[in-house]
Structure 1
């Protein structure tokens, strides 16, 4: 018989001090207690650990210790393997099936109470109910306790929540807290069954539980059973061994305190935590720091003890904080850079370093920055399945299902590395995808379908004989996703799989085609998610494609995948706070120490508020903060610690973690008392910590700084030769020549065009084009009938035209409303215009060879409308969807109407002879409509002609530069060529620098 402990009355509880390596301490304690016993004694010891990582670490410690038999290392989650078969427990339901079944009930509730939440939230609410039921089972709270809750003083929301939970409780068979055979319910039933067996026949071998804080009710009950076994013991990690009885009593009830769980467990077992023995000869690496942190973390009601106990730490502050560095970076990027530099420095010194953070964004940033030096850390979490190539492709396809296909939705699918087949097929797929993008999708229709894809493939733009087959395959692959039919979850998953596999095989699969989509760990995990969804079949109510998209994103985001393709650095690791409980490194970096990150924000229970949870004796939201505080306290007691945070997050100031604030306030207070007592000079230990941190932020900033100073580009003013300068411009481009000559140079000299975005957007240009077409048809159909008849005709034509050419339903309604509003005004003013003359032409191009120049130059313009007035002169109208330009703008920049007048007077419009112009007018379509008439006198028109000749003469001179942004309309004006001119390196106030070409 193996014996590790002498006989004693009552439970057997041990602690591992803060900051020690829990795995090594457990191994050393076991070896010392097994010393002198036969080799097989170790094999009889059974140890329950909280995670598989902890189990692997302990086994590795035994292997490293030399040849010996290993103890039986188990994980608390696998407790069912130790329960004899005579315990009758039904099989646990599949978590997905459980959530889908619960979501049906929640959906019915939301139908009756739509103000509670949108239907898309039913999966979140279903999962929260499952967690709540799980918590009830783990804490041994019978469902009948719901009937005892007093909610008379609560709001209607909480009363409805309780009513719904009672309905769910009534649907279970029985009144026990453990009727649900899953999760913590099942774990507690296993624990109680094992406890009954051991009570009748206690095991004659040592049984230990180590590494668990007992935060879950079922685990705490198991710890109680094991602690009372003859050779049983519970070993608590990260116990503050320096707290006295008063401190332990003070934290009882303070759920946000790091040692609260241990205090509650000690009270439950009747153990004096102040006299808790250590498991073996082990102590905190830096006892002075452990005592300082313990004092800083005392509950708020007793922080007056800082004044009493703080001065005693003054002489030990140097020793306490000598291994601590505080990094307060200006930005999250700089924080990640400082961490990466510190980890690289540790690796170069041959020391191990671990980043501990609950912030996965920070972890990925650090990994990306280490990749600059080809360093791959061992990241325990990997990355979410939703961010892997298979997960991204499935998300894109699920988001597309049930919706009209847009270029913006199609392009990410075509660009996925898992689409298009392998080798040559993949290469041809990429070529065709690029041609489709540039020749059809860019600036093309906002919505596309299979017919449009096939039509493009048959056109000369495709330029590849494989294009028709490729386009047909693409259309056929996406067809299963068309339509927003209400399907069960299995139907949605099946059609998603069909589409994804077809796209992955490519258009030329051949007999040996493979689906690369499901390769590697991420692909296998994604295939498993789809398989489970398909197996769920008709569980849950039929749902729309949008609801299935929400469900799939939840499932993909909930799983992490580690990429085993790269060899990781043996000394560098990235851990979550859970992994940090079982390991240590020579340099421990605690990252993301901001409120809302570490500690995270307290989650809101949609079913139980704080008062209701207190009545049921359930943990309060602060319990999670207490667990996070324990992780911080344990890791911060390592010999060398780097504490990091960013001062700003997402352009807003951040708030330091409460533990950093407490530590800083305590240390500053101790320093001030020491100075007042004459025991120290004017010195701040916190400033010392920050100074050490600035070493790493300065280094991170230096890494990003270029090796050589790159001078900023000057404001460009190119001078191309006369032959390269444009000899033709439209009237609208004359304004650009005045305001931003560089844009004319880039477009007409360099022949550069801005690449249009994928698909059309309902922007100002599209709105203007559409409204012009509506007005053209309305003016042509005007018959000078009674106003109400003309208004009805106007609105009918507008509705028909918008229905024909505007593909966005919401935008169509907005634009129609705008036209309906101005219809009476436009009809009334149109009648006045018809009384003055008649319509001659609409939307016609005209040209004029400008005279008086040293070289030929043609001015072009597309006129909105020209009328013939009663006196034989012409009236030129221009429609403005916004506000017409002011007199000053017309005089200096917006000369379009005057330039059109010059073309008309020169006979530049094919169907019109040279005729004087007697009226120039803007028809403003904004608001309720407005008119703005310009001075159309011959002298004014001649003035604008002279201005045009002077402008064009200047730019026909080879010495005249094309400076950038000479007179932009607004400071916020953006040009398509700002990047080319390297704007940002120069300001609008800088002098242009001429560049002869």
Structure 2
């Protein structure tokens, strides 16, 4: 062992890895520290992260000037904050550390238990938490169970990393002082008792626990058997106790050295001494490492051979400035001394910009512009460092919009890959009982084929959507208190019922899909397709509502495979030639293995997809994109020891960077102190050190958003300190370096040109394609919105029903019409003894046949019951005066328009023949009927035109020139009173006037020079099915202005 620890420093403002690589290549003996015969390949170098390992390897090869080089053994140390990165043995390289044990020692060392994966540990802990909650009578939903598990896992990691004896929890608070703490202790027995037994039973250990054991084993080994070659530990702050002990060991080795990054040797001694309790200071971590190694700051030498820069060097001046700005609070009063002594050169503000955006979108825009601009300079590299994933995604999307792919080292969650989304959609479809929206999302996923080729599958899904998925979605409830619908009103059974209902009524697909086809077998193909879907999902639908993850996982894999098989019976998911899909599938299967192993954990069907998404989200995947080699986005951990010509520090807001200090859910600050745990602010100190190192880059851009989602944000404490020191030292001679140019450029890029509003469309189709047949209700549409007639009858466009529609006034009105029609057909002559009861029974019978009817009665039954009573009185009074009733009767008449026949059609709700031979025409309304003025002025011509058709003998059973006695609107709304009758005056005159006016209207639109203009009378338009096609909002707002 060396009598004096070998600890060196590379100050801020220097490229750490570049200095390291340069010295190792030019002088492997490190200026005589090691034997002069030491070669580069003799070294073992330990670095904090895998990225730092790769970068040092690249630098060594690049600076060697050769194509091949005997490399030293460079391994990642695994010195990471567990809250920033979930430790995994394979990812952090601890398997590689085992390789550092000499062969003569390794066989005699007791083997370490393998570590559990993160998901395996989550499931095991969640099972124990779930069992405890059930035993204690506090069982809640999965949300509370998963939250408790996450908090418990965080506590377990903290205790293990900081090497705290868990048994000390019981003695933290005296028994007589806190009943609540005793209750908490009962729960924490999961950690103190159940968890150790579980680990012993399965022969596994926690990842953090195994890392500490492995590092300690290496420390003990090197203390007793020093390695033959030099060992260099570089860039670590020793924040983990086991790592700190290993660094102490390496520093004491005869052939060992520790190289620190960014130790501030200019911090006044009294400030350095205060760092024992200043945990949020950027030098705090290095202070505690020196304390653990029993070193004074003066004992630490500059790294051998470091080419010292001038104090006027931009990077060194910037490093000095930021270190002074972040002095401990007690020293800020000495800033005034910097005006005469040790004032950093003002050139530190060269190549430095600060942008405080109004919102996240603007912040992302300026960052994206800066990154894109960097590419204009050959060989220039640029990097965004931010802990804000939302900002990173925004920047990625903007650059992609400009044709630049950027490497985001954080990757993307597996849940957002195509494989993860597909699995989630399968479980969501089951959890929502195959709601139309969720089922369609699944069926339209690229991996879904259901035994078809891509084209056939798309066609079948489209037809299924048109036949059975659009429109009203039943709830499964019934006014009778049970589901009396003839078929199941939910799920795939309901879809089959709707398809078979359509088939029985011979509803041809042309009527629904606007396709010109006469193939009547199409609906049969869709039924076969839906039935196959039902069979494919059977493994999942057969799983009990409360099931183990084991059962759910196996069924999910079976369903996914079946759904993804094409017409050649090949799974386009499992047998995909796409390498990226294969990698995603491999990662997905690793999660599913843990899912399937969970034989004791049960979850309700509604939460299966939540659980899967939770664990898939924790698994990060690096997307295979052709990223630009000179650009990158990194988190705080990934960016350590990484250099770039331009460094952008994003999201500099309190709560983001730095994050707020958190004590966790279980331990207060005094409790943590009693257990000798580090202060929560230690993490802020680590982030502050990252900030100082990144701020010392050759070119730097600092950004923040003043508001996020409309909420004002406080600037980062470090940014505020920089502003304060700048104001005192440089305000008169050097302005604050706002990024005005980039801000102006983003405003220019982001501001679209003024929109050019379209004019109101005026289509003028040829006369021979104009309609020669319209219903009387469409005549009113022609008056107020001619474009709707053009779109429907000339363009043959029909609006699609929405997905999962609620009960609308139109659905309710249609159902009431059907009830009154069926009642009249059921009792055409003599009324039953109890008319009101018969009306109600008729409604319930219809409700049994349609899910829409069930929904109407479920929410409208009290009103309908009142309507039934009113209808009873209405029928009893009228039946004595009439001889025959026609219900829902169709009629038509032909008129001569522009020397061509034109047919007017109508469907009357009810026509009565009176005992005096006159005719009454009745129209049912569940809403407000048109006013008398509208009818008289022909703004509502429906009923007068029905009268004209009746007079012309256009209704079968009604003689020509029949006299119209009544035109009546029957309003049934269930209010008080439940219904009312309004009879129009002078029906014959109304009919004559309406027919004359309609002829003139039709003559006008028979002229091919007449345009079908949208919304001639906007205030009278009730249905705007074609407003988006006519771009009404665009030109109408322009005209209004």
Q: What is the aligned-residue RMSD (CA, Å)?
A: 4.7
Aligned in 2, Cα 1:330/1:134: closer, same or farther, shift over 3 Å?
A: closer
What is the aligned partner in structure 2 of residue 52 from structure 1?
Answer: 50
Which of 409, 412, 418 is 1:389 aligned to?
418
Aligned in 2, Cα 1:172/1:750: closer, same or farther, shift over 3 Å?
A: closer
> Does the aligned pair in 2 maintain the 1:27–1:62 contact within 8 Å?
yes
> Does the aligned pair in 1 maintain the 2:431–2:607 contact within 8 Å?
no
Tell me the CA shift for residue 353 of structure 1. 1.6
Aligned in 2, Cα 1:812/1:356: closer, same or farther, shift over 3 Å?
A: farther
What is the aligned partner in structure 2 of residue 995 from structure 1?
Answer: none
Which of 696, 706, 720 is 1:662 aligned to?
720
Unpaired segments ≥5 residues, structure 2? 79-93, 475-490, 510-518
Aligned-partner Cα distance in 1 for 2:225–2:114: 27
What is the aligned partner in structure 1 of residue 867 from structure 2?
Answer: 826
Aligned-partner Cα distance in 2 for 1:608–1:790: 72
Q: Deviations over 1:512-533 (max 9, x none)?
A: 9993348524433424533553
**TM-score normalised to the size of structure 2?**
0.79
Aligned-partner Cα distance in 2 for 1:921–1:311: 91
What is the aligned partner in structure 2 of residue 693 from structure 1?
Answer: 742
Which of 787, 793, 796 is 1:742 aligned to?
787
User: Which has the higher mean CA deviation after the structures are superposed, 494-503 or 523-532?
Assistant: 523-532
Residues 1:324 and 2:352 aligned together: yes
> Does the aligned pair in 1 maintain the 2:13–2:316 contact within 8 Å?
no
Which of 517, 533, 536 is 2:592 aligned to?
533
What is the aligned partner in structure 2 of residue 504 from structure 1?
Answer: 564
Residues 1:375 and 2:404 aligned together: yes
What is the aligned partner in structure 1 of residue 512 from structure 2?
Answer: none
Tell me the CA shift for residue 581 of structure 1. 1.0
Residues 1:23 and 2:56 aligned together: no
Q: Deviations over 1:801-858 (max 9, x none)?
A: 4453227xxx956x43422221442233223322431393444444455799986554
What is the aligned partner in structure 1 of residue 128 from structure 2?
Answer: 105
> Does the aligned pair in 2 maintain the 1:335–1:697 contact within 8 Å?
no
Tell me the CA shift for residue 653 of structure 1. 5.0
Which of 924, 927, 931 is 1:878 aligned to?
924
Aligned in 2, Cα 1:633/1:854: closer, same or farther, shift over 3 Å?
A: farther
Which of 844, 847, 851 is 1:806 aligned to?
851
Aligned-partner Cα distance in 2 for 1:490–1:756: 40
> Does the aligned pair in 2 maintain the 1:505–1:516 contact within 8 Å?
no
Aligned-partner Cα distance in 1 for 2:523–2:1034: 43
Q: Deviations over 1:122-167 (max 9, x none)?
A: 3453344233212211111111122123399999987644431134
Matches within 5 A, 1:52-451: 52-66=50-64, 69-77=70-78, 78=94, 79-82=97-100, 84=106, 85-111=108-134, 118-150=141-173, 160-173=183-196, 181-200=205-224, 206-227=230-251, 229=253, 232-250=256-274, 252-273=276-297, 277-280=301-304, 281=306, 286-297=315-326, 302=330, 305=333, 308=336, 318-329=346-357, 332-350=360-378, 351-372=380-401, 374-401=403-430, 404-420=433-449, 425-430=453-458, 432-434=460-462, 436-437=464-465, 447-448=491-492
Residues 1:925 and 2:989 aligned together: no
What is the aligned partner in structure 2 of residue 34 from structure 1?
Answer: 30
Aligned in 2, Cα 1:324/1:852: closer, same or farther, shift over 3 Å?
A: same
Tell me the CA shift for residue 322 of structure 1. 1.8
Query: What is the SS of the residue equivalent to 1:543?
Result: strand
Q: Deviations over 1:164-203 (max 9, x none)?
A: 11344122559999x9822222222333444444455555
Residues 1:963 and 2:1013 aligned together: yes
Tell me the CA shift for residue 393 of structure 1. 1.8
Aligned-partner Cα distance in 2 for 1:339–1:990: 40
Query: What is the SS of the residue equivalent to 2:114?
Result: coil
Aligned-partner Cα distance in 2 for 1:877–1:158: 73
Aligned in 2, Cα 1:23/1:897: closer, same or farther, shift over 3 Å?
A: farther
Query: What is the SS of the residue equivalent to 1:405?
Result: coil
What is the aligned partner in structure 2 of residue 641 from structure 1?
Answer: 700
Q: Deviations over 1:365-388 (max 9, x none)?
A: 434443455433333233322222
Tell me the CA shift for residue 966 of structure 1. 3.4
Aligned in 2, Cα 1:716/1:823: closer, same or farther, shift over 3 Å?
A: closer
Which of 501, 523, 540 is 1:481 aligned to?
540
> Does the aligned pair in 1 maintain the 2:232–2:256 contact within 8 Å?
yes
Aligned-partner Cα distance in 1 for 2:553–2:434: 19
Aligned in 2, Cα 1:143/1:454: closer, same or farther, shift over 3 Å?
A: same
Q: Deviations over 1:918-960 (max 9, x none)?
A: 3633535377775465461117946766765665555445454
Tell me the CA shift for residue 629 of structure 1. 3.8
Aligned in 2, Cα 1:603/1:518: closer, same or farther, shift over 3 Å?
A: farther
Q: Deviations over 1:255-294 (max 9, x none)?
A: 5444443344344444445885443426685233233333
What is the aligned partner in structure 1 of residue 579 from structure 2?
Answer: 520
> Does the aligned pair in 1 maintain the 2:473–2:804 contact within 8 Å?
yes
Aligned-partner Cα distance in 2 for 1:419–1:960: 49
Tell me the CA shift for residue 243 of structure 1. 2.9
Aligned-partner Cα distance in 1 for 2:278–2:777: 72
Aligned-partner Cα distance in 2 for 1:634–1:821: 72
Q: Deviations over 1:452-497 (max 9, x none)?
A: 7997999936669998987776554343333342443233222222
> Does the aligned pair in 1 maintain the 2:932–2:984 contact within 8 Å?
no
Aligned-partner Cα distance in 2 for 1:312–1:736: 85
What is the number of residues matched between the two proteins?
959
Aligned-partner Cα distance in 1 for 2:72–2:417: 39
Aligned-partner Cα distance in 2 for 1:691–1:431: 54
Aligned-partner Cα distance in 2 for 1:307–1:932: 87
Matches within 5 A, 1:416-815: 416-420=445-449, 425-430=453-458, 432-434=460-462, 436-437=464-465, 447-448=491-492, 460=519, 476-485=535-544, 486-509=546-569, 515-517=574-576, 519-530=578-589, 533-534=592-593, 536-564=596-624, 566-594=625-653, 597-599=656-658, 605-608=664-667, 612-613=671-672, 615-618=674-677, 622-646=681-705, 649-650=708-709, 652-653=710-711, 655=713, 657-659=715-717, 662=720, 665-666=723-724, 669-670=727-728, 679-680=732-733, 684-686=735-737, 689-698=738-747, 700-701=749-750, 711-757=756-802, 762-774=807-819, 776-777=821-822, 798=843, 801-806=846-851, 815=856
Unpaired segments ≥5 residues, structure 1? 993-997
Aligned in 2, Cα 1:47/1:247: closer, same or farther, shift over 3 Å?
A: same
Aligned-partner Cα distance in 2 for 1:405–1:61: 55
**TM-score normalised to the size of structure 1?**
0.82
What is the aligned partner in structure 2 of residue 987 from structure 1?
Answer: 1036
> Does the aligned pair in 2 maintain the 1:211–1:237 contact within 8 Å?
yes
Query: What is the SS of the residue equivalent to 1:581?
Result: coil
What is the aligned partner in structure 2 of residue 910 from structure 1?
Answer: 956
User: Which has the higher mean CA deviation after the structures are superposed, 97-106 or 67-76?
Assistant: 67-76
Q: Deviations over 1:537-574 (max 9, x none)?
A: 3533233444332222123222222344x543332223
Query: What is the SS of the residue equivalent to 1:568?
Result: coil
Aligned in 2, Cα 1:733/1:60: closer, same or farther, shift over 3 Å?
A: same
> Does the aligned pair in 2 maintain the 1:100–1:540 contact within 8 Å?
no
Q: Deviations over 1:629-667 (max 9, x none)?
A: 4333322221111234455655x3552642475157426
Tell me the CA shift for residue 101 of structure 1. 2.2
Tell me the CA shift for residue 979 of structure 1. 3.5
Q: Deviations over 1:11-45 (max 9, x none)?
A: 65444433533322333455555346445454444
